[in-house]
Structure 1
C-alpha cells in the first residue's frame, strides 16, 4: 500500500496523519511538508533498528523528549553497529607539497544503506542527545583503526573534545578505550582541541597540555584566531601546533588586514617555537603567500579532499 495522508484542519496547525506499511514511501511526502531539520530527524528514526512502541509514546512528556529519545536511539544504533569511518586529509610542508607531515582524521557516520552522515549532523545530534563523549571515543577509535589499516607512519591528527581528556582519569579512559592493548606509539598522536567545546580557563588548558606531553602526545590548537584561541594563548599554553582558522586564510589575497594579522600570528608562534598549520588552502597563490609569511604547513583542497585512502 502506498502512503496516504489525512489532514484534519481542526486547529492551527492542522493535524497531519500518515498511514503506510512502507515507511520509506513517506519520505517524499514529508519532504514537501516539513523542514530539513525535521526530515533529518525522521530519516534518522527510519534508519533505527527499532521504533518506539505505543507505550513509549504514552510515556512522553513533550515532543522535545520524543525527539531526544529518537535521536539517542539512532545514534546509539550507529555507534553500537560501528557504522562510521574516518576520512583522511593530508597536511603538507609549505615549501615541499610532496612532504606529508600527517593526516587529519575526520569521522563520518554511515546510514544503514551505506550513505554518509556528515560530521556537523553527527556532533549536533550527539550534543542534543548527551552523547558527545561516546562519539568522541568512536572518532578516536576509528582514526587509529584506519591508521593501522594503512600502516601510516606520519602524524595522526585527531579532533578531541577537551572535557573528554581534561582530567587524568578522563585521558587514561580515552587512551584505554581508543588504543586498547595495542602498541600504537603515542608520539604519532596529535590531539586537536576542538574550538566548539571550550575549557573554562587557561589553567585547565595548561594542565591538559602538560598531561598530554607527559604521555608523549602533542597538541594542536584548532581554529586559531577565533574564540579562546588568541595570541595570549601561545605563551601561556605552549602547544606544539596552531591551526589557522579557514576564515583567516580564505580571501587572504584581497584582504590586507588578514595578511597583517596572519603575519603577526606566525611571527608570535615562531618566537615561541610553535609550528603553524594553515587550513582552507585552495589555490597556489594563497599557498605561496602563506609560505612567504613563514607558515610551515598547509592543509586544504589544493592538496586533497578528505578521502577514504591516504593521499
Structure 2
C-alpha cells in the first residue's frame, strides 16, 4: 500500500475519506521527442499488482475514495519514478474533481518529491477526462497554481469527451495531447488531417506544445511529422512497461 504517513501531510478533505481497500502500482510509457531524439517523459499508468488493467483498478474507485486515490497515484508514481531512476519528466494523471484546494492538495506531491529527491520541475500533470469537469473556474485555479509552483500541465485526450476549445479559451496548459481517435488512420483521412492542422495552429498562437498520442503505424507518424509535431506517444514506439521503463528506442528524427 502507499505509505499512509506520506498522505498525512495532505489536506483534511483527503484524510476524512476512507482508506483504499485495494492496492495498485504503475506501468510507464515513454513520450518521445523526435525533434532532438530523446525521451521527453514517461507517463505513469495505473496497473494492478499483477499487471491488471487500469480499468480494473479504476472500477474500484468510488466517490468516497476518489480523493485519496488521486493522492495515492501521485505518491506511487513519484516513488516508482525515483526507484527506476527516471531522468526525464514523469507524467502523472490527476482527477480535477478530486482536488479540494490546489494549495492544500499539492502538499503530498511536494513532500513525496522531496523525500525521493525527485525534481519538481520534472513533474507533468495531465488533466484526465474519466469524469466530467464540474467547475471550469476550479480547474483553471488548479492549472494556474501548479504552473506557478513550477509543474508542467497537460490536457489529455484533446478532441474527445468533454474538453476542447472551451478549455483553451479559459486557460492554457503547457501541452495538449491529441486524442488517439483523431490520430487513428490519419494518413488516410483528410478530415482528421484538417482538424489536427487547425488544432496545431491554435497551439502555436497560444504557445502550447501538442503531443500526438496513440501512434501505431509509420504512416500515421509520417503525416504528423509533416505537420511539425515533435512529441509522440504510442505502441509504435513502446507499450507500457510494468514497473519498469523502456529506454532503448530508435528516436532518430530522420
Q: Aligned match of 1:209 in 133, 143, 155? A: 143
> Could you tell me how far 1:150 is from its partner in structure 2?
1.9
Distance 2:107 2:67 in 1: 11
Q: 1:303 aligns with which of 237, 241, 246?
A: 237
Is 1:150 aligned with 2:150?
Answer: no
Is 2:210 the counterpart of 1:268? Answer: no
Quote the Cα distance in structure 2 between the aligned partners of 1:187 and 1:86: 21
CA distance in 2, matches of 1:166, 1:156: 23
Structure 1 CA distance for aligned equivalents of residues 122 and 100 of structure 2: 20
Structure 2 unmatched runs, 5+: 1-17, 247-254
State the alpha-carbon separation in 2 of the partners of residues 149 and 172 from structure 1: 21
Q: Distance in 2 between matches of 1:166 and 1:215?
A: 17
- Provide Cα deviations, 1:235-255, integer angstroms capped at 9, x if missing partner: 421100000111100121222
Moved more, 188-197 or 231-240: 231-240
**What is the TM-score normalised by the length of structure 2?**
0.82
User: Which of 27, 35, 58 is equivalent to 1:123?
Assistant: 58
Give me the whole-angstrom Cα distance separating, in 2, the residues matched to 1:232 and 1:294: 24
Q: Which runs of 4+ in 1 moved over 6 A?
A: none
Taking CA–CA contacts closer than 8 Å with sequence separation of 6 or more, which of the two structures ends up with the larger relative contact order? Answer: 2
Q: Does 1:104 align with 2:43?
A: yes
Summarize deviations over 1:113-172 as a string: whole Å, max 9, x none.
xx3321111112213x73222322222222111111122121110011112335135423
1:87 is aligned, of 13, 24, 27, to 27
**1:157-168, aligned counterparts within 5 Å?**
157-165=91-99, 167-168=101-102
For structure 1, the 5+ residue unaligned runs are: 1-71
Normalized per residue, the structure richer in helix is: 1
* Structure with max Cα Rg: 1
Taking only aligned residues, the RMSD between alpha carbons, in angstroms, comes to 2.2
TM-score, with normalisation over the residues of structure 1? 0.68
